[in-house]
Amino acid sequence: MKNANTLYPVILSGGSGSRLWPLSRANYPKQLLPLVDKKTMLQVTLHRSMALPYAQAPIIVCNNEHRFLIREQCEVIAVKPEAIYLESVGRNTAPAIALAAFHLAQTNNDAIMLVLPADHVIDDQENFAQAVETAIAAAQHGYLVTFGISPNSPETGYGYIKIGDHIELTEPTQPSFYQIQSFCEKPQFEEAQTYLQQGGYLWNSGMFVFTAGNYLLQLQRHRPDIYTTAKQAWQQRTADLDFVRPDREIFAACPAESIDYAIMQSTDHAVVIPAEFGWSDVGSWDSLWRISPKDKNGNFSSGDTLILDTHRSYIRAENRLVSVIGLEDVIVVETADAVLVMHKSKTDQLKSAVQHIGSNHRKEHLDHLRIHRPWGWYEGIDKGERFQVKRIMVKPGEKLSLQMHFHRAEHWVVVSGTAKVIVEDKAMLFAENQSTYIPFGKPHRLENPGKIPLHLIEVQSGAYLGEDDIVRLEDSYGRTI
């Protein structure tokens, strides 16, 4: 295998995961959740890619709002990315992949890129590794390779690839390569049945292998507008902490297009490998039910559940007892602030429901009650007229920004751990059951100088209690808002 030591996993983690609401939220999407494993889907994807022969440190392209969660999840599994590129706004896969390609091509045009979405499930690592090795051979012959999954059912949740002529390389390889005749959008059920009956159609996996230089060459040839804008955004990049930021305004002006339509359907260098390695993109609750372990009645259950006379259903309880009695083919998902009850056949309507939540100025589509921050997390306990109560956890050695509020005062009660509180120029230490008061308008900061997590209760009082009443005067994480 030539240049085998230049295999770079490129992990795309920009999705919002609205089809798995209420567990997945815009600011805590499905790839950051442990849906099918004790590890999150991102962590499983990183492990899968790093287990491949000759794999180098990965490049991650993600939403700016998820950066600290992604960095923390990498640290938990001891993965140090080559780079974490932050998108100021999602521009689909073609520009996102271009950022990673520019990064690699600056030192090695022949670097092999393995592009993987962060939220896919692959059960057969051995077959996956073999398919990747075959794809590398094709990439070294100048091809842009994608993996097509042999369909076993008329799936309407996936796009399809219609294969063309067979391609032989100078070195015999398995599985075979085929030209791509066309990409097909997610079909209706009758059309999907026709694809299955006719043969010659594969599920579009959204995974790719090619060299960085060849990808950029094909992008420049077929979509010079994307190439030029993405290159300008990359050239004007800045770095802070562990992150690389393409120029915000330039990248936002980049056309939003998938790699399928920007390059793969236009170039004569695109090929597809039929593959079988237990793949699923976990794009809906119904697809998650299909790959999850089930009891004798076909039910998957998680958490505190009571299930009677119920069949072929997915029941997930995160906080409370959930009882399901006398139902079939339903999805029931409970979280601290929202409950979904849905027939499995209606999963395509969930995205519209989430959009409806947002259009009514609610926030259940954005965040859970527990909001994660680089220093820890907080969650609401109670709220009323002119007051709000929160739980706060600060990780050892971390600290909140130096900040002030114009409209609220705060009272902090330490539950466990040690708190270092700075108000103006005065620093104080507080232990369990001790408390302090922060007047409005006073610069202040909360730190955890100890070795264990700091837990405290915060009581806010004032005329306005919104999170935007935070004036950051200094921040260890580079945040301004």
Instruction: Among 337, 358, 379, identify where a domain stops.
Output: 358
- The answer to whether position 365 is within a domain reads no
Q: Is residue 320's pLDDT more than 60?
A: yes
* 235 lies in the same domain as 331: no
Q: Domain range for residue 99?
A: 4-280
Dist. CA 274–CA 120, nearest whole Å: 17
Instruction: Among 324, 358, 392, identify where a domain stops.
Output: 358
- The answer to whether position 160 is within a domain reads yes
Write the CATH number for 383: 2.60.120.10
Write the CATH number for 274: 3.90.550.10
H-run or E-run covering 381: strand 376-384
* 330 lies in the same domain as 312: yes
Number of domains in the chain: 3
The pLDDT confidence band at residue 1, using thresholds 50, 70 and 90, is very low
* 241 lies in the same domain as 142: yes
Report the phi/psi class of residue 173: left, alpha or beta, with left for phi > 0 and alpha for psi in -120 to 50: beta
pLDDT of residue 172: 53
pLDDT in tens, 130-149: 999 999 999 999 999 999 99
- The answer to whether position 364 is within a domain reads no
* Residue-wise burial string across 235-250, b where 16 or more C-beta atoms lie within 10 A, e elsewhere: eebeeeeebbbbbbeb
* 100 lies in the same domain as 219: yes
* 431 lies in the same domain as 337: no
pLDDT of residue 110: 95
The pLDDT confidence band at residue 82, using thresholds 50, 70 and 90, is very high
Residues 452-464 have a mean pLDDT of 97
Instruction: Among 338, 358, 378, identify where a domain stops.
Output: 358
Dist. CA 95–CA 118, nearest whole Å: 17
- The answer to whether position 234 is within a domain reads yes
pLDDT in tens, 383-411: 999 999 999 999 999 999 999 999 999 99
- The answer to whether position 480 is within a domain reads no
* 211 lies in the same domain as 103: yes
* 274 lies in the same domain as 197: yes
* 289 lies in the same domain as 274: no
* 336 lies in the same domain as 462: no
The pLDDT confidence band at residue 57, using thresholds 50, 70 and 90, is very high
* 452 lies in the same domain as 327: no
pLDDT of residue 407: 95
Q: What percent of the chain has a predicted confidence (pLDDT) above 70?
A: 97
pLDDT in tens, 104-116: 999 999 999 999 9
Q: Is residue 48's pLDDT more than 80?
A: yes
* 63 lies in the same domain as 152: yes
pLDDT of residue 3: 45
* 268 lies in the same domain as 337: no
